[in-house]
Structure 1
Amino acid sequence: RAFNRKPVSQRIAIVAAGPIANLVLCVALLWAMFVIGRQDYSATLGHVQGMAASAGFSAGDRIESIDGQPVGTWGDALQALTTTAMDQQDARVQVTDLQGAQRTRLLPLSALPEDFDQENVAGLAGFAWQHQMLPALVEQTQPGSPASRVLRAGDRITAIDGEPVRSFSDITPLVQALGARGGMAMIEVERDGERLALDIQPTLTRDAGSGRQYWTLGIPAPLQPKAAPYDAEQRFGPLAAIPAAFRETGKLTSSSLGMIRRMLTGHASVKNISGPLTIAQVANATAKRGVDWFLYFLALLSLSLAIINLLPIPVLDGGHLLYYLIELVKGSPLSERAMATGQYVGLAMLASLMGLAFYNDILRLVT
């Protein structure tokens, strides 16, 4: 029997089979990822300023939940902060500080301007993640500098005059304060597994370009900083990974549908729509990070195909399902003229989406 002569229920089942297969594949890929174990970074703050500092956050705080939703990694935290900012709401953030105490902070994301950069919410909020901070590692010292007399390549600076150093960016303000105060300073380092306390005195230097004077130890920033080691892992046994994969699929589906809703209501930028160029870049980046991340990318891609296919746009599966639902309600199929008009409208909408996706891809490449 011809497809258009089959009962509506059978046609719905046949058309829905494609998106359902994509959803099943998404779950299977996430299951494999969780069994292998996905390596990631914890949502630990390396530096705070501005809004975050005013709200009471401190360097070393680890984010545990945002608005009641558990946060396992920095990616989870970033996504939750971004969607909250898009909705122009404040975020209630629970953290564990360096002393192990749990505290709740209110981050006033509603204070961000309406046209805020949606790709840099953490930066606008005053957050810098710990794993993105440049380690305070001595690769080399400038000849004749104070550092050349007491430090060696491979030393890791942990404190200057009792003030903790968590990243390379902490060194400059501490050295400027020490230089202005005058006298010797004590620099604490880790060297070959030992902790050492060394005396050092900053020297005043003049910048050749601007003529500005500043205090320095003579430690250039690392030229090729190494990636921070992963400090968070999501791993489950084969049975426990099944519900975990379904939960992650539900979470990703909710996030994707929420993003579509926000774009339709104007709360999210259409710059979030990506095309094949960005997809290829992400595929390459995740493949370099490891099998676990590449499986996650493939799962997200499969889920995205399912959601896009189910959009009620004629020429897509969702458009056909819409036709069949209308047929169920009215008791007869739509006229050929109505269906043809729908096809033209659907093609125009699809072409517009593809054009926008390519435009965003090219814009990302040139900016």
Structure 2
Amino acid sequence: MTDLLAFLVTLAVLIPIHEYGHYRVAKACGVRVLRFSFGFGRVLWRRQASPDSTEFTISAIPLGGYVRLLGHGDSATLPPQLRAEAFDNHPLRHRVATIAAGPLANLLLAIVLFGCASWIGMDEPVAQLGTPAAGSVAERAGLRSGDKVLASSDDGMDWQAVQSMPELIGEAVEAIADGRKLYLQVDGSAVGNGHRIVVLDTDKLPSREIDASTSRQLGLSLYGEPIITRIIVGGAGDRAGLHADDRVLAVDGVSIADGAQLRERIRVAVDGAQGRAMHWRIERMGQTQDIDVQPGVVDEAGTKIGRLEILIGGTPQMVHVSRGLVDGLVRGAQRTWDTSWMTLKMFGRMIVGEASLKNLSGPLSIADYAGQSARLGIASFLSFLAFVSVSLGVFNLLPLPMLDGGHLMYYLFEGLTGRPLSDWWQQQLQRAGALILVLMMVLALSNDVVARLPGLH
């Protein structure tokens, strides 16, 4: 129920804002707006102040909306007294502004939403690192368990404070997407590593796609105590006799520093198709015990890994991250720009085959994310709304017929040649654009369904 309600709120906020952008600029330019609709299909509710005013409607299918403009594509059939208000008869600058206003409204909304989330603030885990995976970028850079990241930089000169682990991961994701290195100021004095600067070779990762494989190769993990917090009944850990609140001291004679190191030891405890038996030393209710543990084996992207079906890691140290009015808006504008650029690059990489089409998400995934963020608090939900608003704005600016970006391409052609694109070409492009959009929607929905079917992803 939370997922559905959060999803409906998402639609109720983002779709009207997009259409209001078109509506408000059209009215400012003197274009008559015939209808402002939330949703498609059969009209469920309507309101119109007078026969000459805009009709506001709510329709049956809430996955979108539209603004119907007088004379958009049919101005030649209008009576003479209405032609001055027809969209197609207005100057090119008015038409460009009206079409571009929808996506720009989404981007402006994202700035405000990101800013509001920054003002409210969220409790986030501090950027204290667990043991990096063997051979990862983080391990090669010299990062160790217990290191705290204080600041990051693109060039080692201009530094930005890192307040939390999500901020650090966000900086790393941007560095991977941009194909550049990431510089970090690190304080490891609490674990004897001292204060130093390390360089992550994120530019050398084989893929710029952000997935589980790339995250593992990056090797940044949150520090957590090597404590078992939950046992799945009937799983390999339960069968071995492990209990919740057990602290793992050593595995096969090797001291365990944190939860990340313990997870890695379990992961690699595989001999062929069988889990490899491990000898654990644990602390339970103040008493030290030795116990033999054999993980089960699962397939992860074609690789056999060990799994005990337990949750590991104590509660991390948290920090409340918030910003002032101006700083929050500046941060909101920066996050909107960064998210827009990354979204655009991801679309580009999917088109040329450098990124998987599985990155396309449909309504089921959006509903899941909406519910998850809502349960984390208002600031988290506002950030989610901002991300979706950016995605909606950038997507609508793509140069595809049927989208706002496609209409802007028509106007670019008109501006360069001095004549509008012919009706025949517009009709052919509209058909092609409709086909592309249908294929994208089917693919996004199939990704949603497959992601929820065990064994198919």
Out of 113, 122, 137, the residue aligned to residue 215 of structure 2 is 122
> Structure 2 vs 1, CA of residues 269 and 84 (structure 1 numbering), >3 Å: closer, same or farther?
farther
1:23 aligns with 2:107: yes
Question: What is the CA-CA distance between 1:81 and the residue it aligns to?
Answer: 4.2
> Structure 2 vs 1, CA of residues 3 and 117 (structure 1 numbering), >3 Å: closer, same or farther?
closer
Aligned to 1:103: 197
Aligned to 1:36: 120
> Structure 2 vs 1, CA of residues 351 and 296 (structure 1 numbering), >3 Å: closer, same or farther?
same
Aligned to 1:317: 404
- 3-state DSSP of counterpart to 2:355: coil
Q: How does 1:38-77 map to 2 (within 5 A)?
A: 38-48=122-132, 49-51=134-136, 52-63=138-149, 64-65=151-152, 67-68=154-155, 70=160, 71-77=162-168
The alignment covers a number of residue pairs equal to: 323
> Structure 2 vs 1, CA of residues 351 and 101 (structure 1 numbering), >3 Å: closer, same or farther?
same
Quote the Cα distance in structure 1 between the aligned partners of 2:263 and 2:346.
40
Offset from partner CA, 1:98-127 (integer Å, 9 cap, x none): 214122134476364x69883332223444
Out of 366, 376, 380, the residue aligned to residue 289 of structure 1 is 376
Question: What is the CA-CA distance between 1:139 and the residue it aligns to?
Answer: 8.7
Q: What letter is aligned with 2:366?
A: I
Question: What is the CA-CA distance between 1:72 and the residue it aligns to?
Answer: 4.6
- 3-state DSSP of counterpart to 1:298: helix
**More strand, by proportion:** 2
Aligned to 1:143: none
Aligned to 1:167: 259
Offset from partner CA, 1:297-337 (integer Å, 9 cap, x none): 00111111111111111111111111112111111111110
Offset from partner CA, 1:65-98 (integer Å, 9 cap, x none): 26448455434444554565567x5744424142
Q: How does 1:4-23 map to 2 (within 5 A)?
A: 4-23=88-107
Q: What letter is aligned with 2:204?
A: S
Offset from partner CA, 1:214-238 (integer Å, 9 cap, x none): xxxxxxx997778735624431122
Quote the Cα distance in structure 2 between the aligned partners of 1:60 and 1:358.
41
Aligned to 1:94: 184
Quote the Cα distance in structure 2 between the aligned partners of 1:65 and 1:166.
24
> Structure 2 vs 1, CA of residues 289 and 201 (structure 1 numbering), >3 Å: closer, same or farther?
closer
Q: What letter is aligned with 1:299?
A: A
Quote the Cα distance in structure 2 between the aligned partners of 1:116 and 1:14.
35
Higher relative contact order (CA 8 A, sep 6+): 1
Query: Identical aligned pairs, as a percentage?
Result: 30
1:2 aligns with 2:94: no
Q: What letter is aligned with 2:227?
A: A
Question: What is the CA-CA distance between 1:50 and the residue it aligns to?
Answer: 2.6
1:347 aligns with 2:434: yes
With structure 2 as the length reference, what TM-score do the two structures score? 0.60
Q: 8 Å contact 1:263–1:270 — kept in the other structure?
A: yes
Offset from partner CA, 1:259-303 (integer Å, 9 cap, x none): 223223332222111111110111011111111110000011111
- 3-state DSSP of counterpart to 2:398: coil
Q: How does 1:120-199 map to 2 (within 5 A)?
A: 120-130=213-223, 133=224, 135-136=226-227, 165-167=257-259, 170=262
Quote the Cα distance in structure 1 between the aligned partners of 2:425 and 2:262.
66
Question: What is the CA-CA distance between 1:162 and the residue it aligns to?
Answer: 12
Q: 8 Å contact 2:263–2:312 — kept in the other structure?
A: no
Quote the Cα distance in structure 2 between the aligned partners of 1:104 and 1:128.
16
- 3-state DSSP of counterpart to 1:40: strand
Offset from partner CA, 1:140-180 (integer Å, 9 cap, x none): 9xxxxxxxxxxx9978788999967433965998xxxxx89
Quote the Cα distance in structure 2 between the aligned partners of 1:322 and 1:284.
37
**Greater Cα offset, 265-274 or 293-302:** 265-274
Q: 8 Å contact 2:103–2:393 — kept in the other structure?
A: yes
Quote the Cα distance in structure 1 between the aligned partners of 2:331 and 2:210.
32
**Greater Cα offset, 277-286 or 51-60:** 51-60
Q: What letter is aligned with 1:268?
A: A
Q: 8 Å contact 1:310–1:319 — kept in the other structure?
A: yes
Quote the Cα distance in structure 2 between the aligned partners of 1:111 and 1:168.
21
Quote the Cα distance in structure 2 between the aligned partners of 1:11 and 1:4.
8
